[in-house]
Structures are given as C-alpha cells and as structure tokens.
Amino acid sequence: MFARITAHSLRRAGSILLLASVLSACSAVQSIDTPAENGASAVAQASAAPSASASAAAIAASSTQASVAPSAAESPVANTTDEQAIIASIQETLDLYAKAYNDNDPSLLAQVVDPKNGPMKRYVQTRFENYQESIFGGQGGFEYTVTEVEPHESGFIIATIERSGLQAKWTFREVNGRWLMSEPNEKQLGERQKVESEHFTFYMYPWTKDVNEKLMQQMDVAREQVLEKLGKVPDLKANVYIKPTFGVGAVTSPNTLAFYDRNSRAGDRIVIAAPNSYVFPFYDASAGWEGDLQTTLTHEYTHLVNNRSFTPISRMSDWMVEGLAEYVSDPTSARSRGVPAAVASDQIIPIMDTSGQVNKQDLEHLTILEQDVGLAYGFAFTLVEFINDKHGGMDGFWKLVQSYDQKQNLPAAIQEAYGISYEQFDQEWRAWLEENYG
C-alpha cells in the first residue's frame, strides 16, 4: 500500500530546467518550481509548542475514518458539483495566477485567492513580490494545468497541478461560484492529535490523514538510515510536527519540505510540510512527493542525531553539519548539486576564504552564503566523503569535530586530529576532488 521510496532527485530536474534553486537554512529544501522565492530561508521561528491534545487519538483511528466528500449541503455554493465544471473553474483560476506572473500584474492575485483567507492572501502576495524582485523576476513562461481533482473535507478540493513536467497538490474552495486558492482554517483542520510511535511523538491533524501514516513510516526509514551510517541515535523520542497549511504552525518559506528546529519552545523537533499544502514544492510526478521528502527527512533527522547524540551543532563548522547530513541522506549529493562542473571549471568553493573580505564566501560560512548555496552543500558533502575515504572513516570525521569543538579553529583542529596543516589538508582534498569528480 505504500509508494516506493526512491531518492529521485528533483535537484537534477531543477538544474535541467534552470529554475531557481534555493536552500533553506539548515534544511535540504530546494525550490525547483517557479514562481519561487529567491534568497528565501526557512524561518524556524519559535512557534506554538506542541500541546498534548487528543493524546488518546491513535493513528489507526485517523487513518480508517473515511474521507468525507463535500456534499451539496456542506458547500456554500454548490452549483458546480460536476467534476468537469470544477476542473474548468480551477483552470481559470490558475490561468489568471500565471498571467499575474507573466504580466507582472499583482492586481490579478486578488481574483485568484479566497478573500476570506488572510494567511493565504499574504502567502500569495509575498511570494509574488519576492519572485518579481528576484533575478528570475519578469521572465514569464508560467503555465499551470490542473489534471485531477479530489474532494476533501469542509468543501475543499485537492487539485493535482502540473507545471513543466512537475507536479503539486493545491487546495481550492468555492467562493461565489468560482474555485479559488485557499487552505482550511485551524478549525477546519480538526483537532490536533498527539500520536506516539516507538521512536517518535507525532503532532498531526485529521486534515492530513491521507498522508500521516506514510510520513510516520518515512521517519522510521530516516531513523534506520541514520542509525546505519552513524551507529547510534538518541534513546529519547523525537518530536515530529506535521504542518498542515501555510497559515498554521511554524512560519515557513515557500518550497519547504521539512526542517530541523532545534530552538522550539518545547525542545527540538522536526517539522514536515504536508505534501498537499502550498509551501510544499513541486515534485517529479513519476517519483511522487515521497522521493525527495525521504532524502530531506533523513537529512533533517541526521541534524537531530548529530545535535543530541554527538556534538552540539552550534559548536561545529557549517560544512561539517550540512556535509554530514548530505553524506548520510544522499549519496548523489555532489553530482546532483553540480560539483563535477565546478571542479572542471576550477570554481571550487574554498573551505576557508582567506581573501580578507568581510562576507566570507566559503564552506565555513555555508548557511549564510550569498550565492551557490546548493553547490556549497555538494562541496560540504565531498569534504565528509573525503575524510571518510582518507582520514579514518566516520571515526576520523568525529575526531576532527571533537578537536574543532574544543578549539573553534579549523587549522588547529586539523593539525590536532590528522597531524597535518590546513594547507596540506586543502591540497589533498582538491587532488581527491580532481580524481573523483574532475
């Protein structure tokens, strides 16, 4: 009953399409759909602490409740019950939405969004502004096609949308005879449930019951993958929050799959964007949303394990943190993020920028880079791979991390851990890059 878990990479599709590629802070999130925000970062701001509502709710209960199709009585205006008519109306909305982008005409946005949904209006407006301000702004070429509609609760429709061979699922609501972009409000999501599994505590809503079970299973896969690569995971259960809509829960950027939030009020947690919410990025239709999400969940869970069971992330260099998460979650990271092309054209991002400029463009400052962030993740991956290959496997990696934790200085840590200078380490890495990715 479960979809095949594959690691098909949207990143590859993204680079082929030359679409915006944006990484969220400390997250494997990539935006490959457009309209996309440029320079966006996942904002893992403090948000409502998970409350133990409906603790008795079991996943079995939520997954066996049959989906309730909106009846004529539920829908405020139920004239367009015919599926073809709904599809036509949603397509009209999507055409207007695309036109707003293609003509750079924000006045059209008001016609495509549910006027009663404040968060949704803000989301669409902000996203539009960020896109038009980005280097991709004004290029046009937007076209969306609705291929399928599925009734959901409270009169909502979940529509399958295609763009450039990619797919997303967006929700629509009928307002005065037209189907507009909308998401359920907090009340329509149903009561939040706390669901205990063997290794996780999940917070989720009945609204996402079609995917909750699959997401729980994917977290178990993430745990198995991290355990296999790192040898241990925390005994304490980790909190996982399934964020149902843009408007509810932690503040997130568009194109968020999932992120590790180590500063939430209730302790650290992993937040997953529901695959049928607007923030979830477009995905390769043949791989389904599960493919890249699995890679991302394993990436984010690696951060959690790193932070809880090894060394606090805040005491490690950026490339160690992200390189490790890439190394554990995605063996294709270097290639899919463009490392071979950068090596071939002699554009290796340095480990340490020694040019003296204030805004360091190096792997030590990976998460605050102004450009080539995706490529930097790829190079961080190669550093961890190189250390595993040439400096004693994972033990060698942790040896360096421990020295760095003490000294907070990379050359000193390399000297202590490996008995060589930073310059020699750098030279070895570059030679190894030529050999393996050149």
Stretch of 22-30, 88-96, 267-275, 334-342 lying at the interface with Zn ion (CB under 5 A): 22-30
Question: What angle in degrees, to the nearest 10, is found between the helix axes of 422-437 and 373-390?
Answer: 100
Closest CA to 307 of 351, 265, 261, 273: 261
Q: Using CB under 5 A as the criterion, what x/- string covers residues 284-323 for binding Zn ion?
A: --------------------------------------x-
In the complex, the smallest distance separating the C-beta of residue 319 from Zn ion, rounded to whole angstroms, is 11
Contacts with Zn ion, 112-151, as mask; x by CB under 5 A = ----------------------------------------
- Pairing state of beta strands 238-243 and 269-273? parallel
User: Distances in Å between the alpha carbon of 60 and those of 183, 195, 212, 238, 255?
Assistant: 25, 10, 10, 20, 30
**Residue closer to Zn ion, measured from CB, 144 or 260:** 260
Looking up tokens 């033990």 gives 395
Strands (E), 116-234: 145-151, 157-163, 166-175, 178-181, 193-196, 200-204
Could you tell me the smallest distance in angstroms from the CB atom of residue 170 to Zn ion? Answer: 26
Residue 204 or residue 325: which is nearer to Zn ion going by CB?
A: 325
Work out the number of other CB atoms within 10 angstroms of the CB of residue 29: 28
Task: Compute the distance between CA of residue 142 and CA of residue 103 in angstroms, rounded to an integer.
Answer: 10
Return the range that interacts with Zn ion (CB under 5 A); candidates 23-31, 73-81, 123-131, 194-202.
Answer: 23-31
Task: Tell me which residue has its CB nearest to Zn ion.
Answer: 26
Write down the residue that tokens 């991956």 correspond to. 381
Distances (CA, A) of 437 to 46, 145, 312: 40, 39, 31
238 binds Zn ion (CB under 5 A): no
Cβ nearer to Zn ion, comparing 397 with 418: 397
Segment contacting Zn ion by CB under 5 A, of 9-17, 19-27, 83-91, 211-219: 19-27
Q: In angstroms, what is the minimal distance from the CB of 277 to Zn ion?
A: 21
Closer to Zn ion by Cβ: residue 323 or 338: 323
Closest to Zn ion by CB, 322 vs 362, is 322
Cβ proximity to Zn ion: between 26 and 120 the closer is 26
Stretch that binds Zn ion, among 67-75, 158-166, 176-184, 324-332 (CB under 5 A): 324-332
Of 161 and 320, nearer to Zn ion (C-beta) is 320
325 binds Zn ion, rule: CB under 5 A: yes
CB contact set of 430 (below 8 Å; sequence gap of 6+): 348
Task: Report, in Å, the least distance between residue 24 CB and Zn ion.
Answer: 8
CB of 401 to Zn ion, least distance (A): 16
> Least Å distance between CB 342 and Zn ion?
20
Which of 240, 275, 243 lies closest to 260 in space, CA to CA? 240
The three-point CA angle 116-118-124 to 5° equals 110
Q: Does 26 bind Zn ion (CB under 5 A)?
A: yes
Phi-psi region of 133 (alpha: psi -120 to 50; beta: other; left: phi over 0): alpha
CB of 367 to Zn ion, least distance (A): 8
Smallest gap from residue 148 Cβ to Zn ion (A): 33
| Cβ distance to Zn ion smaller for residue 87 or 240 | 240
42 binds Zn ion (CB under 5 A): no
Total residues in contact with Zn ion, by rule CB under 5 A: 3
Residue nearer to Zn ion on the CB measure, 274 or 328 = 328
293, 43 Cβ separation under 8 angstroms:
no
Euclidean distance between CA atoms 95 and 112, whole angstroms:
9
Q: Whole-number minimum distance, CB 322 to Zn ion, in Å?
A: 5
Nearest distance in Å: CB 362, Zn ion: 17
In the complex, the smallest distance separating the C-beta of residue 42 from Zn ion, rounded to whole angstroms, is 10
Nearer to Zn ion, 325 or 348 (CB): 325
| CA pair distance 186, 112, nearest whole angstrom | 21
Expressed in percent and rounded to 5, the helix, strand and coil fractions of the chain are: 45, 15, 40
Per-residue DSSP letter, 201? E
Q: Where do contacts with Zn ion occur on this chain (CB under 5 A)? A: 26, 322, 325
